[in-house]
Amino acid sequence: METRKIGGLEVSVAGLGCIDFGWRIDAKETVKVVAAALDAGINFFDTADIYGKGLSEEFLGCALGRRRDDVLIATKFGLDMGDERKGAQPAYVQEAVEASLRRLGTDRIDLYQLHRPDPATPIADTLGALQELVRQGKVREIGSSNFSVNQIREAAAARPDGPNFVSVQNELSLIQREALPDVLPECAARGLAFLPYFPLASGLLTGKYRRGQEPPAETRASNRWGPQVFTDKNLKLVEKLVAFAQSRNQTLLDLAFAWLLAQPSVASVIAGARRAEQVRDNVAAISWRLTAADLSEIDEILSRP
């Protein structure tokens, strides 16, 4: 599989988002999903301490087992884990990384990401703590998530004397394009990798949903997860995108991946999966490369009311 750079890491362009582990699937099903990802050539697994309140990291570590050295693990810290365990204060950074290392069953984290900015802590203090983890060998690269352009710039200026963020993980998809006009160009200008989360817009871009039809059972829409995505306006846009993909003998899923991978700075599309066949479908979707004419036509579709 093609790889792209996140700092000094070479990650597969199809990654695996692990948000479902410990939440929507148990340890046994996690093993199946991780095995399918490894078999398909995925080497990049993205999780967070908050996912399943630690269970995602735990399940992922157990599922990888002896294959740990074959892969790159990204995790995140900073969201509320209970008992005042949250934020980006230096003391908590050290506590959080030790907890993640234990749950993952590993001696290092390949990409350690601040899950969101902490307004109560100067970013220079957080970066200082993260740089110390890099020095100790507990973390290889550090990244940010949910950062605005101004926050990216502030972080870049805060600690110019040591390792700094090499990536930004923000929401991006054909449906949610807020990062497109500013954060992505900033990443390109600074040489930062961009990791789109919710790349399939909570499942809307899988092709399972149509206007006027009940959502399939056991899907996020049927469980009222992310209802703000499943609007009539977005479903109309999906119909146009489906027609475009079909005109090229491709699927909506193929288009969702191809469009993201055509964006400057995108390193890996970290879609989640609850079943092995979803992993295989996601990996199959990365083969389409959009032309400049394709991208122009897609832009036109996206810009129409």
Residue 51 appears among annotated catalytic residues: yes
Tell which residue, 32, 6, 42, has the closest CA to residue 286. Answer: 42
User: Of 51, 92, 197, 209, which residue is the catalytic one?
Assistant: 51
What are the angstrom distances between the C-alpha of 254 and each of 56, 164, 184, 220, 258? 27, 34, 21, 20, 6
Which token pair is 304?
């129409």
* HEC profile of 92-140: HHHHHHHHHHHHHCCCCEEEEEECCCCCCCCHHHHHHHHHHHHHHCCEE
Query: For residue 233, which phi and psi values (nearest 5 degrees)?
Result: -60, -45
Query: For residue 32, which phi and psi values (nearest 5 degrees)?
Result: -65, -45
CA atoms within 13 A on the CB side of 138: 20
Question: Would you tell me how many other CB atoms lie within 10 Å of the CB of residue 183?
Answer: 21
Active site residues: 51
